[in-house]
Amino acid sequence: MTIIRKEEVLPERPVIILLYGSPGVGKTSVFNTSKNPVLIDADRGADRSIFRQDTIIASNWKEILADESEIKNYSTVGIDTAKSVLDDFLMVHVVEQDYKLKTNKLKAYGAIADEFKLFVNRRRGEKLDMVIIAHAKEEKDGDNTRISPDVTGGSKDLLLRIADQVGYMYMDNNQRTINFNPTDKTVGKNVARFPLLTVPNETEPEFKTFMADIIQRVKSSIQEKSEEQKELLAKIETVQTELSEIDSPEKAAKVSGLIKGLPKAHQVAFQNSFREKIQKENIEWNKTTEIFQYKENVTSQSNQS
């Protein structure tokens, strides 16, 4: 096991995209634009997609496991659909492993989650990206109706938890559109902060690498967040060092500026320490002149320097 230090940038890793929408909207066709893809077709709908890629047609979970040695030769694996694999294939599989689970749905969904996570972790170990496809389902939430992936409760929670990006695909003015933002009416997750994405027409060059480009942008976004954390940690360490060395109004002013450059939550964390330090050094903030000065000496900071 390799420990990645907090000040180090996390290495690029495979990502999981959950794409859901109404039947026929073109979800599988969009998956086909992934990098070197293979599709696990549990719904027998691959032949209706555009630019069909290599496909594993499966009738049960054992057939999927039997082809695992072939899956590692690809870059992106798709699951179509999540409901067929999780609610149907895996439910039958775990009950076959332990017949008692047939009457204990709670434990059954726990077993399904464990089995599916092992499958996902093996793909991660092979550096494969994953695109999980699901149909959309309307659910009542009080007086409101919300659209979410059509997978049974426990399985849906698992998918939403492990997915890096969750997008709802729909038709808007005869144009295929993907919304990754969570809204009052749709489930979403938008790590990469995508705006509404219009899916190019299949005759346009941009369509051929559409999902591959999305996956790469998600990876880059995660990397940028890792870079941002590294930069933030460096700033925090600088503030900590400079704060401990405050012994003049000039240094107090410098540290005050450094603290203001931190995110709000971190500013709050340093405020008490800063106040205690300048009080100890007999330094105060002059509200009239808006400078730091010694309490006994009201000479401005510029004159002291």
The string of pLDDT tens digits covering residues 236-284 is 888 888 889 999 999 999 999 999 988 888 888 888 899 999 999 999 9
- Which residues lie closer than 8 Å to 87 by C-beta, 6 or more apart? 151, 152, 155
| φ, ψ at 212 (rounded to 5°) | -60, -40
CATH code matching the domain that covers 16-222, chosen among 3.90.930, 3.30.420, 3.40.50, 3.30.530? 3.40.50
Domain ranges for the chain:
16-222, 245-304
Q: Are 112 and 86 in contact (CB under 8 A)?
A: yes
- Per DSSP bridges, beta strands 129-141 and 165-172 are unpaired
For residue 206, what is the DSSP state? G
pLDDT along the chain (305 residues), means of 10: 59 90 94 96 86 93 92 95 92 91 87 93 94 93 86 87 95 95 94 95 94 94 73 81 91 92 85 91 90 72 44
pLDDT digits (tens, 9 = 90+) for 294-305: 987 544 444 444
- Per DSSP bridges, beta strands 76-80 and 37-41 are parallel
pTM of the model: 0.74
Would you give the end-to-end CA distance of the chain in angstroms? Answer: 53
Nearest to 110 by CA among 97, 125, 128: 97
pLDDT for the residue numbered 305: 42
